[in-house]
Amino acid sequence: MHIEKHFLNSLFNIDTNMIQRIVLYMLLFCFGAEGFAQTLNLMYYVSARPGEHGMWVARQLPNGSWLRGEKVLIDGVFDGNGVDPDIFKQSDGSLRLYYFQGYFVTPPPQNPGPNPIYSAVSTDGIRFTGKRKVFEYDNVFDPSVVQLPNGSYVMGCTQMIGNTVNTVVATSNDGLTFTYKTTVQNTGIPEMMVLQDGSIRLFYNGAGGIVSSRSTDGGTTWQKEQGVRLANQQFVGDPSVSKVGNVLRMYVKGFNANGGQKLVGHKTQYAESTDGGNTFQMQQQLVLDSASVPEGVEMNVALTMESLSKHDTSCLGEDVVFEAKVAGKPEMLPLTYQWTRNGIQIPNANAAKYTINNISISDSGAYSVIVSVGQLSSGTLSATYGPIGLSIKPQTMIVNDIQQELSLCHDQMKVVSCMAQGMQLNYQWMKSGNAIIGQQKNEIVINGKDFIDGDEIYCVIKGDCGADTTKRMKISITPELRITKDLSDGYAIQLGADTVLSVRISSKNCTYQWLRNDVPLMTEQIANDTIITLNISSMDTSKSGRYALLIRNQCDTLTSVKAVLSVTMPSSVEEGQSILIFPQPAERALHLQANNNNDVLKAVLMNVHGTVLRICDVVAGKGFMLIDDIPSGLYFIRMSDVVYPCIIHH
């Protein structure tokens, strides 16, 4: 039946400085911004309502009224056989409950034995755990426990023998195992309080109200005190003393008109004392009806943050959930929530969990939650948790795309780049659907040597917020311009003869011009064939000179061998008609035709250094030489001591 009984003892007979320090501590610890203590007045009682028999806890609201509250659970169970609650606040702030367990909702055994007194502990005022038997004695109930200055414990229990009410006193060193000490005769239902000098005051109902006895030897002997502690014309009993604010409050049991000593006829009320518990004055005649064995306690209210969402960085369009898990002490109190963004309250954000659907840039900011405890007995309590930062990540999106076509030369390099917005971007260039190894930047170097005409490239960009793909770029490669069969260094063409100069090329989209002595013979022509020819008819000295083919495209410019064309003049008509060499230039074979059809002549093929390369007979005016293994160039045929020029060109 006691809360902070050991603290009450220290409230008396102390110097002024000590009182000031205690008051300052209480102001700092218990008072909110509005100057009121953040406390909750609890009252444990036994309910008389049908089906509710057992221990309950009520709480006092700010307007002074009382709210019938929660069932007291012992190891998770509401036990209708548990009654007569007595609350002891321990040094760590937890509550230790002492109570009597009898047989009220279940039938007793044939030999019930001594009455047991049990104990359990709670941190929230509702859920008590660790049930254990601490004392048992014949016919005892209604325990009341105090702790003495030396740390030991004293328990007083009601004992009824017939119509006689005594108080059985037991002691303990740890508050968990009590041993019988003595019996105080002719008392009532007890309530103990330790005074400053270490003595124990025992309150109980008597003539004229609540009276008391006192022990100065730790509960061994008792002397009845003079006068009454609470004067009341009607019957009051089951006293319980606790500290509420700066006063002592005594809860007592009275009677209504509904049934006398039956539980349904009980009511609770309370009185207060400002003189250290010597006298009490009734304050409220009705706290709860149909309630008995009141036990009061003032409990400090606290908020504890168990978890809070962390800073978040999310993508546009996503859903974000912020959640605050806050525990109120005691847990029976309702909590209210109000979320804010950048210090401004968010409408309809009034739950522990706040969800933002389809976030936009405007949702970024600092989020906090204000948690408040409602229905305190005095004062207000709220706490702000946060801020939680919300940053919005942009969607992965290409902002600078590539072109759809790229033309470059076989030996050219060009840089292709793209740019995207987003966070934690990763670029991967692709060619014809396959990843290009090592190309994971926003740009790529396209080398004409590494690609073929018609290849396609594109880039896939992935980020924290999705992916995007560039356009597809088609690559056109202009291949290397090459001459696969060139002109010879020179050609000796007989006067009046026809000849053809030819160059074989490997080309794409090129033009050409024939030059003589570096002067164009024509305008640029488009090369549609791989063999480009120049026809020279009726050779004469005006057509002699250095001939070359100029070829070019957008990437290359080439010039063929500059071939010297010269005119050979026969010394006489006979000499000019002595031998005919064809074709000119020759590619695979030389045909010889002489005017003299009667003689067998020797024809010798020599290079410009006079080295003999071929010899053939000219019989009946005709001869033949294979020359496909002889390099292109200017050569000479000697026959009958006459030298004739010829050109071989493959």
pLDDT at 542: 83
Query: Cα 590–594–595 angle (5° rounding)?
Result: 155
**Residues 354, 216 within the same domain:** no
Separation of CA 299 from chain center:
39
Domain stops at, among 478, 508, 541: 478
Rounded to whole angstroms, the Cα distance separating 463 from 395 reads 8
Residues 105 and 223 in one domain: yes
The partner residues of 272 in beta bridges, in order of sequence, read 249, 281
pLDDT tens readout for residues 105-160: 999 988 889 999 999 999 889 999 999 999 999 999 999 999 999 999 999 999 99
Residues of the domain holding 460: 397-478
What is the per-residue pLDDT for 258?
73
For residues 38 and 105, membership in a common domain is answered with yes
Q: How confident is the model at residue 261 (pLDDT cuts 50, 70, 90)?
A: low
269-300 pLDDT per residue, tens? 999 999 999 999 999 888 998 889 999 998 88
Query: Which residues lie closer than 8 Å to 342 by C-beta, 6 or more apart?
Result: 365, 366
Out of 307-316, 490-499, 522-531, pick the least confident. Answer: 490-499
Q: What percent of the chain has pLDDT over 90?
A: 62
Domain CATH for 616: 2.60.40.3080
| 416 & 513 share domain | no
Q: Is the pLDDT at 185 greater than 80, yes or no?
A: yes
Cβ pair 95, 332 in contact under 8 A = no
Backbone angles phi and psi of 95, in degrees to 5 = -110, 130
Q: Helix or strand or coil: residue 313?
A: strand
Identify the three-state secondary structure at position 63.
coil
Q: How many domains does the chain have?
A: 5
Query: What distance in Å separates the CA atoms of residue 552 and residue 510, rounded to the nearest whole number?
Result: 5
pLDDT over threshold 90, residue 333:
no
Q: Are 500 and 522 contained in the same domain? A: yes
Q: Which phi and psi angles does 404 have, rounded to 5°?
A: -90, -10
* Contact call for residues 330 and 352 (beta carbons, < 8 A): no
Residue type, 105: V
Q: Are 488 and 587 found together in one domain?
A: no
39 pLDDT band, cuts 50/70/90, is confident
The mean pLDDT of 214-225, rounded to a whole number, is 96
pLDDT higher than threshold 50 for residue 22: no
Question: Stretch 417-434: mean pLDDT, rounded?
Answer: 93
- Range 522-553 burial, b when 16+ CB lie within 10 A, else e: eeeeebeeeebebebeebeeeebbebbbbbbb
Identify whether residues 120 and 187 lie together within a single domain. Answer: yes
- Rounded to the nearest 5 degrees, what angle is found at the Cα of 151, between the Cα atoms of 149 and 302? 90
pLDDT, position 260: 63
CATH number, domain containing residue 529: 2.60.40.10
Mean pLDDT, range 301-324, rounded to an integer: 93
Residue 17 has pLDDT above 50, yes or no: no
Hey, CA dihedral for 172, 177, 181, 182, is it positive or negative? positive
Q: What is the pLDDT of residue 377?
A: 86
List the structure tokens of 414: 């060009």
Residues 462 and 530 in one domain: no
- At residue 27, does pLDDT exceed 90? no
Could you give phi then psi for residue 551, rounded to 5 degrees? -125, 140
64 SS3 class: coil
Of 370, 393, 416, at which residue does a domain stop? Answer: 393
- Give the pair of three-digit tokens for residue 580: 């005919």
Domain CATH code at residue 280:
2.115.10.20
- Check residue 192 and give its pLDDT: 97
Q: Are residues 380 and 296 in the same domain?
A: no
- pLDDT category, 93, cuts 50, 70, 90? confident
- Is the pLDDT at 103 greater than 80? The verdict is yes
Give the domain-ending residue among 432, 459, 478: 478
Q: State pLDDT tens for residues 619-644.
A: 988 899 999 999 988 888 888 878 88
Q: How far is CA 266 from CA 86, 239, 292, in A?
A: 18, 14, 6
Cα torsion for 490, 495, 497, 502, to the nearest 10°?
A: 20
Same domain, yes or no: 110 and 204: yes
Model confidence pLDDT, tens digit, residues 227-242? 999 999 889 999 999 9
pLDDT at residue 44 in the model: 96
Q: What pLDDT is recorded for position 129?
A: 97
Q: Out of 67-81, 163-177, 577-591, which region has the weakest mean confidence (pLDDT)?
A: 577-591
Asked if residue 145 lies in contact with residue 155, where contact means CB atoms within 8 angstroms, the answer is yes
Most confident range, picked from 16-20, 113-117, 245-249 = 113-117
Q: What does each C-alpha distance from 300 to 65, 95, 349, 648 come to in angstroms?
A: 19, 12, 28, 118
State the pLDDT confidence band at 3, using cuts at 50, 70 and 90.
very low
pLDDT at 263: 75
Give the tens place of pLDDT for each residue, 69-78.
899 999 999 9
Q: Which residues pair with 593 in a beta bridge?
A: 580, 622
What pTM was estimated for this model as a whole?
0.59
Average pLDDT, the chain: 88
Tokens of 577: 């008609």
Per-residue pLDDT band for 12 (boundaries 50, 70, 90) equals: very low
Residues 230 and 318 in one domain: no
Q: What would the pLDDT profile of 529-568 be if each residue is shown by its tens digit?
A: 789 999 999 888 788 889 999 999 989 999 999 998 887 7
Residues 432 and 308 in one domain: no
Q: What integer pLDDT is reported at residue 570 of this predicted model?
A: 56
pLDDT of residue 577: 45
Take residue 567 and report the two structure tokens written for it: 């005119």
